[in-house]
Amino acid sequence: MGNAKIVKGSIEFRDAVMELDKGGHRAYVKLTGSMSLTYRIIPTLSHMTINELFVHSYPPVMMEDFATALIIAERDGELPLVEVFSR
């Protein structure tokens, strides 16, 4: 996994995804320290395509949807560390 960053909260998450996107890399995310499912992040200015839904090995999620989930988790007293990386 190249360019791996451990982040907490929605702002750090967005920054890490946008940094990878600007560098021409696809962003992936998973919970830190677990064998959890890995998601492919679709940046803000992109659109999800049929190929992204059915062809790729990793389920796609829109960046803002994942960031919102982090905001809700923090509001509920949880702040999971997530790993943002490229392959």
Residue 85 forms part of a structural domain:
no
Residue appearing with tokens 């360019």: 3
Higher-pLDDT residue of 81 and 1 is: 81
pLDDT tens, position by position, 15-30: 999 999 999 999 999 9
- Which residue range(s) make up the domain with 20? 2-46+63-80
Q: What count of Cα atoms within 13 Å lies in the side-chain half-sphere of residue 19? A: 14
Question: 87 with 4: CB under 8 angstroms?
Answer: no
Q: Tokens representing 63?
A: 């960046």
Domains: count for the chain: 1
Residue 67 forms part of a structural domain:
yes
pLDDT tens, position by position, 38-72: 999 999 777 777 877 787 789 999 999 999 999 99
Residue 9 forms part of a structural domain:
yes
Residue 54 forms part of a structural domain:
no
Residue 56 forms part of a structural domain:
no
Q: Rounded to an integer, what distance in angstroms lies between the CA atom of residue 47 and that of residue 28? A: 16
Q: Rounded to an integer, what distance in angstroms lies between the CA atom of residue 69 and that of residue 15? A: 16
Is pTM beyond 0.85? Reply is: yes
